Amino acid sequence: MKKLKIAQVAPLWFSVPPLKYGGTERIISFLSEKLTEKGHRVSLFATANSKTKAKLISLRKKGVIEAGGRWNAYYWNVLNHSMAFEKAEQFDIIHCHWEIMGTYFQRFVKTPVLHTLHNIPGPKNPMWTVFKHYQKDANLVFISQREKKNAVIKGRNNWVIYNGIDLKPFKFNAKPKNHFIWVARVCPEKGIENAIKIAKKAKVKLLMAGQIQAHHQDYFNKKIKPQLGRNIKFIGELNQDKLAVFYRQAKGLLYPINWQEPFGLVIVESMAAGTPVIAFRKGSVPELIKNNKNGFIVNNIAQGAQAVKEIESINRADCRKHIEDNFTIDKMVDNYEKLYYKLLKK
């Protein structure tokens, strides 16, 4: 089949790939690099400090959040998308990765447009009212079946493609140290307080790593910092290399989230290193974890503490095998490539 000219339009919150936090940006990087390696002509619309083999088109030196900005600075993403759509005739397909921004422009071009919804808003978000105006024209990819189910409105065509990761940094470790970990952005939704409660109830050591964004600094100072001590430690944000080591040294990952997370990349990364996951039954968790096989799906703090005590019943090799079989870059990119060709036949 012919090689394609593909526009990958990233949100401008962080670089692609991100220096530290940024799951969506990491997935966009995997997709852009692998498609380029396969011979496609990829143009990546992202920040100037991004690193890629694709053609990089930028309007900002650094990401909005990286530069100290806030999530409500949507105008940068509007401008980034408008730049991509102005060049629509140069591409066989435009692939957008930030909520529904691309739907505002898709009626003005003949080039097929695909939208991956990495993080859909809650059902009462006014975004859905806006999206209703464009839904009959939209080609949507959800990153889990749960995310698709939670979407208030569906598009003309809908698919589910799971995220995939690069297994190379996540070396398998069969003999971890005697502590548990939590990894995420510091905020109530990611369940950091629940993780602390589970660790204290189970009387185990917990090491926590993650990014503290400016608007959550008070939350950290008031809710998390007072609970830190000898067995509950916060070590800050880690880059990808240090994070890979952090995963494989742990006995288990605690991920008791408080929201309907669309995917949960840390779950997959942890299991890739052989480290089982204990997570609340929310969002995509039941699609990523096979209960009692590569981790435990629990409903509350008490069940989480009990799962901690049973963590050695999990074969760490099963965790790694599950990721190798289901959540690799190659599998993800192949699925997207097939979908591109399918859209071009319409």
- pLDDT, tens digit, for every residue of 174-210? 999 999 999 999 999 999 999 999 999 999 999 999 9
Kindly state whether residue 174 falls inside one of the protein's structural domains. no
Q: What is the pLDDT of residues 20-67, one digit of tens each?
A: 878 999 999 999 999 999 999 999 999 999 999 999 999 999 999 888
- For 64-95, what is each residue's pLDDT tens digit? 988 888 877 888 999 999 999 999 999 999 99
Residues 16, 147 within the same domain: yes
Q: How far is CA 259 from CA 187, 190, 280, 281, in A?
A: 11, 7, 9, 10
Domain assignment present for residue 187? The answer is yes
Question: What distance in Å separates the CA atoms of residue 254 and residue 3, rounded to the nearest whole number?
Answer: 43
Name the band, by pLDDT with cuts 50, 70 and 90, for residue 158: very high
Q: Is residue 169 part of a domain?
A: no
Residue 155: pLDDT band (50, 70, 90) is confident
pLDDT-based confidence at residue 125 (cuts at 50, 70, 90): confident
pLDDT at 121 over 80: no
Rounded to an integer, the average pLDDT of 97-105 is 86
Which of 106-120, 222-236, 244-258 is predicted least confidently? 106-120
pLDDT the model gives residue 214: 87
Residue 45 inside a domain? The answer is: yes
Considering the domain boundaries, does residue 175 fall inside one? no
Same domain, 268 and 133: no
> pLDDT grade, residue 212 (50/70/90)?
very high
Number of domains in the chain: 2
85 and 216 fall within a common domain: no
Residues 300 and 333 in one domain: no
**Confidence check: pLDDT of 346 > 70:** no
- Check whether residue 11 and residue 159 sit in a common domain: yes
Residue 171, domain member (yes or no): no
What is the pLDDT at residue 146?
93
Same domain, 129 and 231: no
- What's 52's domain CATH number? 3.40.50.2000
Higher pLDDT, 342 or 214: 342
| Cis? peptide before 188, omega within 30° of 0 | no
251: nearest Cα among 273, 268, 283: 273
Percentage of the chain surpassing pLDDT 70? Answer: 100
Q: Are residues 125 and 213 in the same domain?
A: no
Lowest-confidence pick of 91-100, 200-209, 221-230, 317-326: 91-100
Looking at the structure, do residues 143 and 252 belong to the same domain, yes or no?
no
Higher pLDDT, 155 or 36: 36
In a domain, 245, yes or no: yes
Residues 266 and 290 in one domain: yes
Does 188 share its domain with 285?
A: yes
Residue 45 lies in domain: 5-164+328-345
Residues 23, 84: one domain? Answer: yes
Share the mean pLDDT of the chain: 94
Q: Are residues 70 and 94 in the same domain?
A: yes
Per-residue pLDDT tens for 262-302?
Answer: 999 999 999 999 999 999 999 999 999 999 999 999 999 99
